[in-house]
Structure 1
């Protein structure tokens, strides 16, 4: 299984267009040792030719232009237009994970895999799917969600050697969703992807509000973890003067722990034996964006990597 990181930043990317915080301003001035990041999305493949897109960020067109593997490259006698992106799986209905669908409107009908509540949000509160029906069209595939039962796997057509499982996880529905404050199973999922040919397994959860026993069990089954790296601390946005909400209010578990003394993402990852432990969906306020920071050294001591645009992982 091949994993390609198209974007590794949180909403707004890094540096964020309207932000002059210490990190965003420092990257522009060259005083912060870091990399620019587009908004988070990855693609997975079993053969390096056909790909499944996991989330479609607003930066998807730029990301495709930056990654030849996702570009059209027909044979001389082949079709002038085509795409190796065969399907899209959505983790949630957040704007920074779904609005890239509009940039795919020139292609064939979108093979879209989403839970019922995500489909509902994208046909009502943020009606992207009715709009797309007037362009490329959308073929929606219902995602079964694993809760207490663990038989909710599904296949994506054309990817016979990959088995996918959608796992319901704690998090928040989008602010525009009618159940923003009334969580519904399927508002947020993680994805467990198993390569049946090699036995290697990926666990992808760019938005994760907490790691309980159920989430930890799935994480312990994976060889590679790509999980929520949005914030370092619970009050990061407040301390930086960038917002009024805490990490938990936005559905994210910070690396250093919650305001209530609960363990953070670092401690959770320490309880797994995955070969690769990678943080993704990094907010522009997170000090781990500075590759020379004390926080990056702390991650390195725990064997935790930070995803970057263009990162490739083979399992």
Structure 2
């Protein structure tokens, strides 16, 4: 990705990783998809664990979630390493959607910063990362963390140095991570969706890599968006059970499957957005195979599948 001059422009989103936790192929999985992509016997490409980067000038970026694959993702995206100084990064800040392992452990890889890492997350997420999984305490012995509690009351914010992008948290109904002391006692802020808005044009992107239940507030936010970048984890609710990979349904794991009368496809069909894109694709999902019937069904509904390196401009 070429570096750009500092000037007002459209919000830019780079998909750093498009897979669910474990990536694709998952290290210990020999399902049809994982075995096939390893051996080149299916029409599919590898993917790292889900994360996006947001910029409005192509120079400074806000990282949305920090996956365990962050170092691979930085190497694959030169704009995140602009080399203006002997030690440098294009990552100006990190915003977390939740405290899940596959969204936060990459923070540890940023420990060599020369200044405290600006970190935006809900009070619930910051508490989990200070105590239950004490990543912020560990980072205190390295670069340090400049924590910013993220409001979930409908107030938008800007994150310096991005001057032309606003960020608005939309609370989701879902569980905290398994390690959280309130795993079975959900709190507002455990998980959020995120509305990104270009302050000049007013164009909006709604991002929710984990979306298990669609409340009235969430559906209203989705209807306002020009681009939807949302949960594509599983094709069917019983997918993981059928393949012998888990005893949990997609909904039990906090994800709305694509198929079925109440699935993601039916939801997206109701939305006026000009682009509808699925992200956070689990290794079991047949939509990873570009020539699968399920992939063709998505295309028939005007739904895209995110891939690592995908660019989205608003």
The answer to whether the superposition gives a TM-score over 0.5 is yes
Q: Residues of 2 paired with 1:187 and 1:308: CA distance?
A: 26
Q: Residues of 2 paired with 1:293 and 1:313: CA distance?
A: 24
Q: Does 1:208 align with 2:208?
A: no
1:73-92 correspondence to structure 2 within 5 Å: 73-74=83-84, 79-92=85-98
SS in 2 for 1:187: coil
Counterpart of 1:104?
110
Q: Does 1:160 align with 2:163?
A: yes
Q: Residues of 2 paired with 1:198 and 1:46: CA distance?
A: 12
TM-score for both structures, normalised by structure 2: 0.95
Counterpart of 1:298?
297
Q: Residues of 2 paired with 1:204 and 1:303: CA distance?
A: 18
Counterpart of 1:11?
21
Does the CA contact (< 8 Å) of 1:194 and 1:202 recur in 2? yes
| Count of residue pairs the alignment pairs up | 303
Quote the offset at 1:158 in angstroms. 1.4
Q: Does 1:196 align with 2:176?
A: no
Q: Residues of 1 paired with 2:106 and 2:116: CA distance?
A: 14
Q: Residues of 1 paired with 2:110 and 2:228: CA distance?
A: 28
**CA offsets 1:194-221 (integer angstroms, 9 cap, x no match):** 0111221111000011223221110011
Q: Does 1:233 align with 2:236?
A: yes
Q: Residues of 1 paired with 2:100 and 2:204: CA distance?
A: 25
1:148-187 correspondence to structure 2 within 5 Å: 150=154, 152-187=155-190
Q: Does 1:139 align with 2:146?
A: yes
SS in 1 for 2:141: coil
Q: Does 1:122 align with 2:125?
A: no
Q: Residues of 2 paired with 1:226 and 1:197: CA distance?
A: 21
Q: Residues of 2 paired with 1:174 and 1:118: CA distance?
A: 10
Q: Residues of 1 paired with 2:257 and 2:46: CA distance?
A: 21
Counterpart of 1:263?
262
Q: Residues of 1 paired with 2:275 and 2:83: CA distance?
A: 31
SS in 2 for 1:25: helix
Gapped runs of 5+ residues in structure 1?
none
**RMSD of aligned alpha carbons:** 0.9
Q: Residues of 1 paired with 2:161 and 2:81: CA distance?
A: 18
Quote the offset at 1:162 in angstroms. 0.9
Does the CA contact (< 8 Å) of 2:59 and 2:82 recur in 1? no
Q: Residues of 1 paired with 2:195 and 2:73: CA distance?
A: 23
SS in 2 for 1:86: strand
Counterpart of 1:23?
33
Quote the offset at 1:72 in angstroms. 3.3
Q: Residues of 1 paired with 2:83 and 2:130: CA distance?
A: 33
Counterpart of 2:42?
32
Does the CA contact (< 8 Å) of 2:166 and 2:198 recur in 1? yes
Gapped runs of 5+ residues in structure 2?
1-10
Does the CA contact (< 8 Å) of 1:72 and 1:81 recur in 2? no
SS in 2 for 1:6: strand
1:279-298 correspondence to structure 2 within 5 Å: 279-298=278-297
Does the CA contact (< 8 Å) of 1:201 and 1:221 recur in 2? yes
